[in-house]
Structure 1
Amino acid sequence: MKTKLIILAAFTCLLAACGGSEKPVDLTEAKQAANKKYETGSIAEKALSSYARLPGQLNPFNQVNLFPKVNGFVKQIFVDRGTEVKKGQLLMTLEAPEMESQLQAAMSRYLQAQETATASKEKYSRLKQAAAEPGSVSPLELDNAISKMKADNAVAEAQRSNVASVKTIQGYLRIYAPFDGTIVERNVSPGALVAPGKNTDQPMLALQDTRKLRLEVAIPEDYVDKVDLKQKVNFTFNAMPGLSIPPG
């Protein structure tokens, strides 16, 4: 009898549980609530951004040291330190007396060769006219005249080129400005003996174009592979602290 009462009570509890008003839990709403509680974002791989302060130096965009191309004496100087010059402007003149003698000797040789070439040409013309009469001039003599005329013409052309070469060298006695700029050094005076030298020697004049400057910065080896050549930079002057020059 007791066993039947226990079974009846368990069955009654089961019916009560099945007939209750509770609803099943919705897991989707719980997930949306969790998403609202925590912020989300996308992850992407990018290079780290950084900057470094490095010392630099502003140098002229164009600068040149002027040396003589030939031996000579300084005759005249038309500029001094601080003089602003234009491209092609005459800066100074040199003189070399021995070069005048070389030019005169070259001209004499050229005139002599030209006279010889003219005589050979006239001789060939006379032989050619005489050869019109059969038997008056041998073919060998005519060929020799042609060869002599060509050889003398070649000698005359060589002497003419020699004269042009001496004149070109003589033009090196006049020093011109290769570009617009300012004279920053003058190391010679009239009467000084000058000669072609090396870059390590002292120049006659030094010319710089300071209207446009180039910023040169020595980058440490550790930063070389991290430099973006397309990125513009700002720079400041030690003489003007606090003033930052934007990239131009």
Structure 2
Amino acid sequence: MPGAPVSRRARQILAFVAVLLLVALGVAYLWNRTVRPVVRYTTVAADRGTVAPAVLSTGTVNPVTTIQIGTYVSGVIESISCDFNTRVSAGQLCAKIDPRPYQSAVDQAAAALATARAQLEKDQANLGYTTLVDTRHRGLLGRGFVSQEAVDTAHNAWAQARAQVELDRADVAQRQAQWRSARINLGYTKIVSPVDGTVVSRNVTQGQTVAASFQTPTLFLIATDLTRMQVDASVSEADIGQVAVGNEATFTVASYPQRRFAGRVLQVRLAPQTVQNVVTYDVVAGVPNPDLALRPGMTASVRIVTRRTDGVLRVPDQALRYRPTEARGQAGSSGAESAGGAHDRAAQVWVLADGAPRRVPVEVGLNDDTYAEVIAGDLDAGDPVIVAERAPQADARHAAPGGLAATRR
């Protein structure tokens, strides 16, 4: 039949293709059995050093003592003698309010005082006269030259004159107090610095009218000593229990990102501050500022060391979380973590030994989220602890026994 040769040839071609596929599958199987993926590990040597758990926060740099200078009297600012960054001493004039209205009040009070004193002198003279008349009438009454009514009238005039003198004396005291008050108000027109320090804020200009009411306006802000500063940091209620007076505190500011300033916690204030249902507490840390690099109002990124151990055996925190690929998914864990404090003591790390990971049970102490303190376990300083592994790579030329290879850092 004409179609028979074609069918025979087609069967031969199909058979040849099938053989080729079988050969390819066999070669791929043998290749896969011979060349295995190479697992590469990243290790870090266990070492001895410092483990210091810390609380992180943000705060504001402020002078230790800041004095607000206000005004007791109202008026127009006549002159200003202090400006921003001015060094002032106690008693130095910083501003002056127009004194003319207050000088006028002093003059009026002085005139009223003089009038009261003159009236007192007049009434004292009258008292002397009525005393003399009263005495004379008492003598004449015994000799029958005047009536009893005349004596009584003279005595009444004397009593009224004496009372008038006492009234005049009280009026003089009142006028004198008013005069002193007017002088005090006149003195308040000179606004002086009560302390030695530096002007960090000026809120008034020449010609401005200031009004002293129930809330005294702040004209100047004076920092007593800028060589000593403090950082007011807000610590959350979850971390405040770890912070105590005397804790080491370090911080950086945006102006000097590479410089770390050091100080200590001076105060942990008990008053809570609630903002959007978040409760924080103010922690005050003191810091020296001899070169005046720190300025009031700077934002600080604060790190408060709550505990510290030096010269202890430690491993990277990643080593406690690492587990080999073939061990993942099995029961157990690499150690419970706790931010800024101690782990659960039972943990494990994996050490690279002869190109293969070896499990080493350890007990850990403090953890600062970078290093964990090893307090017990078959681990020595210098042992290569595995912290990560790279993606497997097929490489027959570099295949290690068992299909494992390692890279250290």
Output the TM-score relative to the length of structure 2. Answer: 0.44
- For residues 216 and 183 of structure 2, the distance between their equivalents in structure 1, rounded to whole angstroms, comes to 29
Of the three residues 131, 143, 164, the one matched with 1:128 is 131
One-letter amino acid of the structure 2 residue matched with residue 64 of structure 1: I
SS in 2 for 1:219: strand
After superposition, residues 69-84 of structure 1 pair within 5 angstroms as 69-84=72-87
- For residues 60 and 222 of structure 2, the distance between their equivalents in structure 1, rounded to whole angstroms, comes to 19
The alpha-carbon deviation at position 83 of structure 1 amounts to: 1.0
Of the three residues 176, 184, 208, the one matched with 1:160 is 176
The yes-or-no answer on 1:235 pairing with 2:238 is: no
After superposition, residues 1-248 of structure 1 pair within 5 angstroms as 51-133=54-136, 134-135=138-139, 138-196=154-212, 203-209=218-224, 210-229=226-245, 231-238=246-253, 239-241=256-258, 243=260, 245-247=262-264
For structure 1, the 5+ residue unaligned runs are: 1-48
SS in 1 for 2:57: coil
One-letter amino acid of the structure 1 residue matched with residue 262 of structure 2: I
- For residues 159 and 243 of structure 2, the distance between their equivalents in structure 1, rounded to whole angstroms, comes to 76
Contact 1:75–1:94 (CA under 8 A) maintained in structure 2 = yes
Q: Structure 1 or 2: larger helix share?
A: 1
Change over 3 Å in CA distance of 1:97–1:200 after alignment to 2: closer
Aligned residue pair count: 198
For structure 2, the 5+ residue unaligned runs are: 1-51, 141-150, 265-286, 288-409
Regions of 4+ moved over 4 Å: 197-201
Change over 3 Å in CA distance of 1:242–1:96 after alignment to 2: closer
Change over 3 Å in CA distance of 1:119–1:93 after alignment to 2: same
- For residues 68 and 251 of structure 2, the distance between their equivalents in structure 1, rounded to whole angstroms, comes to 29
**1:72-94, Cα deviation, whole Å (9 max, x unpaired):** 22222222211111111111211
Change over 3 Å in CA distance of 1:215–1:149 after alignment to 2: same
SS in 2 for 1:149: helix
- For residues 75 and 119 of structure 1, the distance between their equivalents in structure 2, rounded to whole angstroms, comes to 43
**Percent identity between the two aligned chains:** 19
Contact 2:203–2:220 (CA under 8 A) maintained in structure 1 = yes
**1:20-58, Cα deviation, whole Å (9 max, x unpaired):** xxxxxxxxxxxxxxxxxxxxxxxxxxxxx9642222322
SS in 2 for 1:52: strand
SS in 1 for 2:183: helix
The alpha-carbon deviation at position 164 of structure 1 amounts to: 0.6
Output the TM-score relative to the length of structure 1. Answer: 0.69
One-letter amino acid of the structure 1 residue matched with residue 208 of structure 2: A
